[in-house]
Structure 1
Amino acid sequence: MTEYPPAAAYISPGDSKSPGTLAQIIAWSAWDWGGAAFNAVMTTFIFTALYLTGDDFGGADHATTVLAFAMSISGLVIALLAPVAGQRSDHSGRRKLWLGVNTLIVAVLTGACFFVQPHESYLLFGAMLIAAGHVFFEIAGVNYNAMLLQISNKHTIGKISGFGWAAGYLGGIVALLIVYFALIKPDVGIFGITSADGMTYRAVAVFSALWIIAFSIPVLLAIPETKPDPAKAKIGFFASYGELFRTVVHLGRTSPHTLYFLISSAIFRDGLAAIFTFGAVLAVGSFGFKTGDVLIFAIAGNVVAAVGALSAGFFDDKFGPKAVIVTSLCGLLASGGALLFLDGKNAFWIFGLTLCLFVGPAQSSARTFMGRLAPEGQEGELFGLYATTGRAVSFLAPQLFALSIIIFGAQRWGIIGILVVLALGLALLIPVKAPPHGAERIERAEA
């Protein structure tokens, strides 16, 4: 059973270590760069927004609802698997191995979207592939996030985490530009591909799969594999859930604010994920965006998000992750609320980009908040709990998004569901005691 010290008093054993080399930091960030093909191209701006939720699949309202329910199911699967996956990688010392295996599965599922033909009968198949991709992407992310503790210390964790998020956003820009100019914009794209039979978007899936594989290789070469913990006996898969339950109970007794953060972040991170999942869908279905508009907005949005993530790293190390998260959530609520009452492209450009500015900092600082709490040797388990608590409620935002559409009768009212989730996460975060950071942690250590 993991012994978690109180969050406010914890001094990471890794604080005395030197941070990773520049080459290791870049290699680690390259995974985020490659993951943008799944997040930005497949699930946010191109495949789902312009293809899978289009008229060929039964119309925006119907297809969006099916996709939302599929995503909610994937969240439940992640909730069941992620903590045990992280725990077992800590025990076995195979963090890098499982990062590679799960990333490869994501790439295969992404490539399989090539077989989603433009007909309503393929809607469920496409939604299932995207949802399954999310499952394995999140499980890979457990090990990827834990690696952050291998290449950072108390003074640099915020900056390095922000750099990784920024790399993801910038990778999204490059991938989107390639897709747009090679496949979407020309009547006849690269290799003679045309829009007939949905081939333009199906080819995007193949490109995304190759992009994911190519940029996952550096981290597997540059970051050393973790060592197994000889003090921990190997246990079976189902027995791992018993150990996990005991860990959570003990965590509640010895470090309750860590548990409180896991709960609050689970909720607001679900709202952040929903912004990415349904943002472009709303732009097309409710604010009059066309294909070219979505691509241009995606590029601008990723630039703004990258700036936000990089700045978050500086403020995180200086003021702590909680201050960054609270500020970001307030900004998201104000921007999302404005979109409920405004119409047209200009409104979405202004407040959609504002949303992008605040999403990156909230994501990056949530990761560093958890990283500052993770005891050495237990990073995977704690980040597994982080992923699990996030996905234990990941049905919430998609379900509320879908139900809001059903209740109010129009796609744009799905925004209400997202805002409710963000507001609830913020309310639960306010009383959580923040972990010490930077110079503050040194002072507490000396005391």
Structure 2
Amino acid sequence: MADLMIAGPLTRQAAFAVAAAVLTRGVEAVSETFVARLDLEGFSDNRVGFALRRRRAREVIAALYDVPAQAVPGGYLRALLRVQEHGSTQPGLDPFAHPESYADLFELMSSEPGAATHSLRYCGALRSSQVQAVRTLPAPFLVPEILRGLSSPEQVSRAVALADFLRIHVPELDDAGLAAAVRQSLGSGNVLGKLARRLLEQADSLPVPRLPPLDGLRPLRSAAEIRAFAATMDNCAATLIGEVATGLKMICAYRHIDEAGAEMPLAVLLTPMVGGNWEIAQIVGKGNALVARPVLRAVLRRLMTIGLQVAGPAPEVYRKGVAELLGHYCYDTFANALYEFERGGRNRRRWRGRFGADRGPARSHHARGLRQCGVRARRHGPGCSGVRAGDRRGGEAAAGPDGRPEPEHGPAAALGQPVAGLGPGAPLPAAGGAMARPLA
């Protein structure tokens, strides 16, 4: 053992190969081979140790695999000098992680030259995972640039899974086409990643799950559909083909029709959930334009009818005011749009019944000013902007049906229309004769 600690890399690797054979074949089988090949009949004890100390590495390996010394491939000896597993500081000083790799490497290097031996010869530092990879990888993947990046069994499994994945989703791809695509992907850091992205651009059928039918919603199921949709909508959907192919995203085209019958094309991006459902991640218009809140609310509610989910707290539990008072804020646009409908919709409908339009900040301020001066609006139908002078009734505005002072018609005041002899922009007299602030 002390002699091996100061021995050169090739001698150490020969000793590691013998130890690996002892572990896999047994010490008796190895001893018999050594005695027959190295003429150790005169040594009764420690024959293997004597051979390791006194014989050349080529002779030891020839005896180990029961071949003549001149039959040991030079490529095998050179490969042993490049053995360097993870954590090793220098090639050739430490053994393979898996003992069987020594015998597998000898068998590969002793066979006819081919893609496997070529890739092993030029892949740089050699690991057990790479020796095992050449037995499992498809022939087009047997290039030094790919083998160099397979430094663990997990990475080998990923490469094999990628080859199977490409054959399923690009069925017209044969070994010749795969080899050509591999050659075109060389020169980049992640050869397999670049190869996969290149080939998925040709995928005729992506693994997109089936959604319940919904009029206007169309999931995109091929790379050609996604590229055409990206060109039409002027967005980056084409860059998500890989994520769609691996089940991380789903892209849908949606056609929204408003109350007037006008169509609006939208892009809907879905992300998967563990339970098998899909969450709505993004809804945008052409060129990634933001969608108006009323349209967004209508689309969300319609998509939720087929089981698509929206992230956010439950409306029956979440209280925005209390949460924000405690410093907790909900920034999800979709949840806020739905809450806006659930919590504020009734108030907006009541105000719309009076004024025929949504209540805005300007309208509310002007209506309050009109109430202060006692001017009373009379409704002439939804959307009417006509304003007539009302009763002063002791300097107070007339009360409406709910007991509150009934304001003048909001749109007229907001647009600066003349009111009962007062010019636009003139200060309004407050109740009791005091001057109120001018309309802003």
User: TM-score w.r.t. structure 1 length?
Assistant: 0.19
User: TM-score w.r.t. structure 2 length?
Assistant: 0.19
Larger RCO (alpha carbons 8 Å, 6+ apart)? 1
Higher Cα radius of gyration: 2
Larger fraction in helix: 1
